[in-house]
């Protein structure tokens, strides 16, 4: 497969779309990011990397971080995690509160904000410095020792994160947060503020394509069974209430974020990351989704073979 040609074609298809949609502005610091940008990077499990466009530009990973916090929590908690968070697509926006009351404080899945807060709570229980543990994990698996938080973004979100705060207190009222609400929120805002490039994110996600093992170094993060399950949750819940449409168009497990990044996995073969800051109504990158749709059409990579 000539992956460089595929990525160049993705860039060609995506570039005219990079002004469609809108950058996330509910976190004021994210509204400052310029539209008109697109990057893509692909890493094969043997470590070979291809890229096109702004693949080395760092951006706010936002909810893409939830793929990595879930991996850490699943590794630490095992199946006990599923007593506190479900595995069903929510069909509601990522920041919705409505189902929490009906479901007695058990979030539908780990990728809606409510579920990600519970996941973060487990990390707050396990680590004295949970934000640093998450950052160290990302540095290790990406091989980029200078990956860091953007404290201006974290503070900007904390200053405007009333929905997340409401959600965290509501979950706590059902007894489904073990640690301090403010500490969970602070850790959550910090891991969402981490900045990485497409190349770094594709490399970091390789273990999800490689049966749970980091190809460079051979460290096992998750068992093969847990990795298949993680991929199932990515496919069904990773792009929020657009996950059905994304599975239809792209057919790959994926995680998106409101910074405009999307990481997708071809199990057993590769991880790919696209980035373009303008978003559709669901919070997924317009050019990123279109580029991945083109990727799956060109390569016939899909879990539905
Ligand atoms: O909680 C929030 O609203 C953000 N820190 C993360 C949201 C996000 O990326 C959801 N994505 N589509």
CATH of residue 283: 3.40.710.10
| Cβ-Cβ contacts under 8 Å for 172 (sequence gap 6 or more) | 181
Q: Is 90 in the pocket of ligand 1 (CB under 6 A)?
A: no
64-90 per-position pLDDT tens digit = 999 999 999 999 999 999 999 999 999
135 within some domain: yes
Q: List the residue whose alpha carbon is closest to atom 1 of ligand 1.
A: 113
The residue written with tokens 């938080």 in the block is: 149
The answer to whether 15 touches 27, Cβ cutoff 8 Å, is: no
Secondary element (H or E) of residue 133: helix 130-142
Residue 292: pLDDT over 90: yes
C-alpha–C-alpha distance, residues 123 and 134, integer Å:
9
pLDDT at 266: 98
Look over the chain and give the mean of its residue pLDDT values, rounded to a whole number: 97
Q: Is 257 in the pocket of ligand 1 (CB under 6 A)?
A: yes
Residue 91: pLDDT over 90: no
Q: Which of 256, 258, 261, 280 to mutate to test the pocket of ligand 1 (most atoms within 8 A of CB)?
A: 258
C-alpha–C-alpha distance, residues 265 and 272, integer Å:
6
Report how many domains make up the chain: 1
305 within some domain: no
Q: Is 164 in the pocket of ligand 1 (CB under 6 A)?
A: yes
Is this model's pTM higher than 0.95 or not? yes
Residue ranges making up the domain that contains 227: 3-299
304 within some domain: no
| Cβ-Cβ contacts under 8 Å for 51 (sequence gap 6 or more) | 7, 39, 40, 41, 42, 198, 199
C-alpha–C-alpha distance, residues 151 and 167, integer Å:
22
Q: What is residue 195's three-state secondary structure?
A: strand
Q: Is 157 in the pocket of ligand 1 (CB under 6 A)?
A: yes
């Amino acid at each position: 497969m000539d992956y460089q040609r595929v990525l160049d074609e993705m860039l060609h298809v995506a570039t005219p779309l990079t002004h469609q949609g809108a950058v996330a502005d509910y976190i004021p610091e994210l509204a400052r990011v310029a539209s008109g940008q697109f990057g893509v990077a692909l890493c094969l499990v043997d470590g070979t990397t291809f890229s096109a466009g702004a693949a080395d530009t760092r951006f706010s990973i936002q909810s893409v971080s939830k793929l990595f916090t879930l991996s850490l929590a699943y590794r630490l908690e095992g199946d006990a995690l599923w007593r506190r968070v479900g595995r069903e697509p929510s069909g509601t926006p990522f920041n919705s509160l409505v189902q929490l009351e009906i479901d007695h404080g058990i979030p539908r899945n780990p990728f809606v904000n409510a579920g990600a807060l519970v996941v973060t709570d487990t990390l707050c229980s396990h680590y004295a410095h949970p934000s640093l543990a998450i950052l160290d994990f990302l540095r290790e698996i990406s091989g980029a020792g200078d990956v860091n938080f953007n404290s201006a973004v974290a503070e900007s979100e904390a200053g405007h994160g009333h929905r997340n705060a409401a959600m965290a207190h509501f979950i706590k009222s059902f007894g489904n947060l073990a640690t301090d609400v403010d500490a969970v929120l602070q850790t959550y805002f910090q891991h969402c503020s981490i900045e990485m490039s497409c190349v770094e994110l594709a490399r970091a996600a390789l273990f999800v394509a490689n049966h749970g093992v980091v190809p460079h170094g051979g460290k096992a993060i998750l068992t093969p069974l847990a990795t298949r399950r993680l991929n199932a949750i990515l496919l069904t819940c990773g792009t929020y209430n657009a996950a059905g449409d994304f599975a239809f168009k792209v057919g790959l497990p994926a995680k998106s974020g409101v910074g405009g990044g999307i990481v997708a996995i071809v199990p057993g073969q590769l991880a790919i990351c696209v980035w373009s800051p303008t978003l559709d109504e669901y919070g997924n990158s317009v050019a990123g989704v279109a580029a991945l749709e083109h990727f799956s059409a060109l390569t016939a990579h899909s879990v539905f073979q």
